[in-house]
Amino acid sequence: EMQLLESGGDLVQPGGSLRLSCAASGFIFSDYAITWVRQAPGKGLEWVSAISGSGGSIYYADSVKGRFTISRDNSKKTLYLQMTSLRAEDTAVYYCAKGPSAVAGMGRGWYDCWGQGTRVTVSS
């Protein structure tokens, strides 16, 4: 069974940093692009960042570009999101989600497996 498990969410002060992790199991991790999607309290879904299966192609939403860094370690079957210069508007549940192929930027960009999410709260 395919599974994704996020961790690393916490309460952090504005301007602070945090690293989220997403551990995968049940599928060949390097064969699939993975995406971070977030959901602010009581709000809808927002695409944050995506990385191809090899890690060679990376994409960011404008709202996080220059502050967040996505990466993956295929040997550890783990995805990361390094978040810096955090703002109150970054407060959300962060989900990692698996795409149907190794490609992140072209078509086939739906998400067929999601983690349970990890909560990030940015507040003083």
Partner 1 sequence: EIGLTQSPGTLSLSPGERATLSCRANQSVSNSYLAWYQQKPGQAPRLLIYGASSRATGIPDRFSGSGSGTDFTLTISRLEPEDFAVYYCQQYSTLPRTFGQGTKVEIK
Integer CA distances (angstroms), 15 to 12, 18, 78, 99, in order? 8, 10, 26, 31
Asked if 32 touches partner 1 (CB under 8 A), the answer is: no
Asked if 69 touches partner 1 (CB under 8 A), the answer is: no
- Judged by CB under 8 A, the stretch of 8-16, 66-74, 81-89, 102-110 that binds partner 1 is 102-110
Longest dimension (CA), the chain: 40
CA distance 69 to 9: 16
Q: Residue type at 1?
A: E
Asked if 44 touches partner 1 (CB under 8 A), the answer is: yes
- When binding is defined by CB under 8 A, the residue of 27, 69, 114, 119 that contacts partner 1 is 114
Q: With H, G, I as helix, E, B as strand and everything else as coil, classify residue 103.
A: coil
- Which residues of the shown chain bind partner 1 in the complex (CB under 8 A)? 35, 37, 44-47, 50, 59, 61-62, 95, 97, 100, 105, 107-112, 114-117
